[in-house]
Amino acid sequence: MENVNFIYDLLGKNFIAIILVISLPLMFVLVYALAAILAELKVSAWIQERLGPMRTGPWGILQPIAEVVKLIQKEDITPDKANKPLYNLAPFIIFTGAYAAFAVIPFSEYFVPAGINLGLFYVFAVGSISAIGLVMGGWASNNKYSLMGAMRSVAQLISYEIPAAMAILSIVVLASTMNMQEINKLQSGWFWNWFIFGGPGSITKIWVIPFTIGLSLIYFISSLAETNRVPFDIPEGESELVAGFHTEYSGMKFAMFFFAEYANMFIVAAILATIFLGGWNSPFDTFMQGPIWGAFWFISKAFSVVFVQIWLRWTLPRFRVDQLMYVGWKVLLPISFVCFLAVSLFVMLK
Amino acid sequence: MSEKKRLDLEYSQLESDRMRINVGPQHPSTHGVLRLEVEIEGEIVTEVVPHLGYLHRSFEKHCEKMTYPQIIPYIDRIDYIAAMNNEWPYVMAMEKLMGIQIPEKVEFIRVIMAELNRIANHQIAVATFGLDAGAFTPFLFFFRDREYIIWILEKMSGARLLYNYFRIGGLAGDVYPGFKEDCLNIVKQVRKTNAEVMDLLIYNRIFIQRTANVGILPADVAINYACSGPVLRGSGVKYDLRKDETYSIYNRFDFDIPVGTGEVGTLGDCWDRNMVRVNEMEQSCRIIEQAIAQMPDEGDVQSAIPKRIKPPVGEVYMRAENPKGDLGFYIVSNGTDKPERVKARGTSFVNLSVIPEISKGYMFADLILILGSIDIVLGEVDR
């Protein structure tokens, strides 16, 4: 299958076009991160009956820019006894892991940076790079809290990757492809063709719908744990571990962690939107369907998921580390296996 | 010996599977400048040693150099979250020593002030306990309401936190016009927020999992450690000085003493201690409503204040139910206008001593919750 990419269509596959294709998601990440920080500030304020930032710009919309400027100005402190190379490298590795995953995210029918056939596999592979960064940062800081935070976060990442992978594997069984663009194309048409509702097919698919909805919930919960969001923010649980693995970081390095967290939030939201919610497809058949509208639908679906993540963060308390493991291994994993079996059975019978 | 070599020697002597960490004094959830030396094995706490004294201000020694009315502002600074309640046992002790009969209106205003401040204190306690568990939103709900209470206390005394409002034999000032309406509005608001927080936090499934069966304090241990206040009542002991050793006019009001029930876990766990505080807010609301209804409009709040405060030679001990437990003052008078000795029984100090006993064997994250459920104020621990 030929991958459609509007930049290559316009400019041909030359050096400049490749640079453009690479930098487009980066620009998107930066703008998105600012928007997400503002959303976090404002949504938390509305949940708590506050106004949120109101001074910088109209209704405080320039607040994230002010915060980034502040972080750039801050002194960049490296602790005396830190392992300097690892300490300085860790934030960049984490951000690289988050940013690399953007390579296969289909933003629109005509734009996916790299439409490789093992797209979903690739996302999982690079998603785990951030675990290395977390351990590096936590260990190199030479701080007991950082070390504990790093240990916890790696344990958490590994145990929650399994249910998430099972959820995605089930959809791969349904779609029989790992190419994210292909998965999107399968879901075109009305919203009942989305994989959250069993994917395209006749009315006989009705009994598989509860399982696919369950899978989407499992993926969402696991993705919260993978991005260290409440109620699974144990690696950086401020009441216990001060700030977890990034306790010692300041200035721009801290900002990198911050950006990586928000980029990761978008990645998992984008995967959820792509494989369960139809990606760039309009919910209403051909209504508002098209390449530009596709980007609109995709980004708004992903943003809705990000909104739910923010919403949960300001509503729920935090799990304890053993309860987190319990939920991961004894609740989500068996349920995801059951759903996987059900979906496989459905595909065999079809 | 070089730095490197010395470190190697130290590391070789350490046990490899246990880690000693310092929680505080700059840790975000020690509720002040407390330092806990914690030994953990993986995530399990094996030993806790609290280190005190970072906020020591030598309160008792200062008192010996000051006249009796000058001591009152210092007493505010003991438990700065419930300053009105702090002043009360001191002025009661002085009134007992000097044999002053105080007007009825003063008693009513004192009761209302103390109960308002009790609500404010419990709001902070429950809010920060939720914060320790990771729930941020109830924290701000409670702080919004507390602001309204602070406004009333500010209108009465002129200060937001350290009131200096009680006087020996009276009060600094009378109530302002519209005081009763303000109080009744507060009561309504407190109940509304409590109902909201019940759903959002107290009966939240994750919150129950975190706090039930954690930090269990059996009644006999609580009594042995002389715990008081919600910490003791959370273990199911029905002990409240307002009922058991009635002072002021508390015998005129109809209210209950909430105790821990072990509703979602074991009796005396963190959830119970927290729930006692939530229920006590409701009881304080009831007391305020009754006091507002019965309060006389006429009366001079300063008529019984003596011109010269020079108590006779003697000693007196008086205690009252502070939001955190019973706070007592032991005053020795030598016949001059300055006390020979003032000794304060700090509630938080006594309650804190139970931490090493009840936090062993729980996870590190639980230790923070146990500390939060004890509800300490370091100003009162160190004095």
pLDDT of residue A285: 73
Ordered structural domains, chain B, with CATH: 69-305 (1.10.645.10)
Collect contacts of A76-81 with beta carbons under 8 A, ≥24 apart. Answer: A76/A250, A76/A251, A76/A252, A76/A253, A77/A248, A77/A250, A77/A251, A79/A141, A79/A142, A79/A143, A79/A248, A81/A142
Q: DSSP characters for A50-98?
A: -----SSSGGGTTHHHHHHHHHHHS-----TTS-HHHHHHHHHHHHHHH
- Rounded distance, CA B143 to CA B119, Å? 11
* Those residues with Cβ within 8 angstroms of residue B161's Cβ, 6 or more apart along the chain or in another chain: B76, B80, B83, B150
pLDDT at B46: 84
Mean pLDDT of B152-178: 87
pLDDT at B1: 44
Residue A200 confidence (pLDDT)? 76
Question: What CA–CA distance (Å, rounded) separates B41 from B115?
Answer: 43
Helix (H) or strand (E) holding B22: strand B19-23
Give φ, ψ of B185 to 5 degrees. Answer: -60, -40
- Asked whether residue B89 carries a pLDDT value surpassing 50, the answer given is yes
Give the integer Cα–Cα distance in Å for A274 and A278.
5
Mutating which of B136, B200, B202, B207 best tests the A interface, going by the most A Cβ atoms within 10 A?
Answer: B136
Round the average pLDDT of chain A to a whole number and report it: 82
- Position B4 pLDDT exceeds 70: no
B148 in contact with A, Cβ within 8 Å: no
Q: How many residues comprise chain A? A: 350
Annotate A265-278 with b (16+ C-beta within 10 A) or e (fewer): bbbbbbbbbbbbbb
- A232–chain B nearest CA distance, Å: 10
- Inter-chain touch A239–B28, beta carbons under 8 Å: yes
**Is the pLDDT reported for residue A246 higher than 80?**
no
Q: What are the C-alpha distances in Å from B159 to residues B69, B151, B152?
A: 17, 9, 10
What does the pLDDT look like over A263-321, one tens digit per residue? 888 888 888 888 888 878 777 777 777 777 878 888 888 888 888 888 888 888 888 88
Asked if this assembly's ipTM is beyond 0.95, the reply is: no
A117 class by beta-carbon count within 10 Å (0-12 exposed, 13-18 middle, 19+ buried): middle
| pLDDT on residue B3 | 54
Q: How far is CA B72 from CA A14, A54, A182, B57, B381, in A?
A: 81, 41, 76, 15, 18
Q: Over the Cα atoms of chain A, what is R_g?
A: 21
CB contact B19 to A (< 8 Å): yes
Q: Cis peptide before A283, with omega less than 30 degrees from 0? A: no
Provide Rg for chain B, Cα atoms. 22
Determine whether the interchain pair A242/B136 forms a contact, defined as Cβ–Cβ distance below 8 Å.
Answer: no
Question: Per residue in A86-116, pLDDT tens?
Answer: 888 888 888 888 888 888 888 877 777 777 8
**What per-residue confidence (pLDDT) applies to B7?**
54
- Cβ–Cβ of B134/A317 closer than 8 Å? yes
What DSSP designation does B23 have? E
Q: How many residues in chain B? A: 383
Predicted pLDDT of residue B15: 57
- Percent of chain A residues past pLDDT 90, beyond the cut: 0
Q: How far apart are the first and last CA of chain A?
A: 25
The CA distance from B248 to A130, in Å, is 63
Could you tell me whether strands B35-41 and B44-51 are parallel, antiparallel, or unpaired per DSSP bridges?
Answer: antiparallel
* pLDDT value for A147: 82
Q: Which residues of B touch A148 (CB under 8 A)?
A: 364
Q: Is residue A1 scored above 50 in pLDDT?
A: no
Q: Do B140 and A234 touch (CB under 8 A)?
A: no
A240 with B140: Cβ contact below 8 A: no
Q: What is the pLDDT of residues B323-375, one digit of tens each?
A: 888 888 999 988 888 888 888 888 888 888 888 888 888 888 888 888 888 88
Confirm or reject contact between B7 and chain A (CB < 8 A): no
Where do we find the tokens 């679906």?
Answer: A301
| CA dist list (Å): A13 to A3, A8, A21, B151 | 12, 5, 10, 68
Does residue B211 have a pLDDT over 70?
yes
Helix axes A129-140, A251-275, angle to 10 degrees: 160
Tens digits of residue pLDDT in B231-266: 888 888 888 888 888 888 888 888 888 888 888 888
Per domain, the residue ranges of chain A are: 75-349
| Number of other residues whose CB lies within 10 A of the CB of residue A6 | 13
A322–B134 C-beta distance less than 8 A: no
Q: For residue B99, which phi and psi values (nearest 5 degrees)?
A: 65, 45
Chain B residue with Cα closest to A240: B365
Q: Is B11 on the interface with A (CB under 8 A)?
A: no
- Mean per-residue pLDDT, B209-226: 87
> A235, A149 in Cβ contact below 8 A?
yes
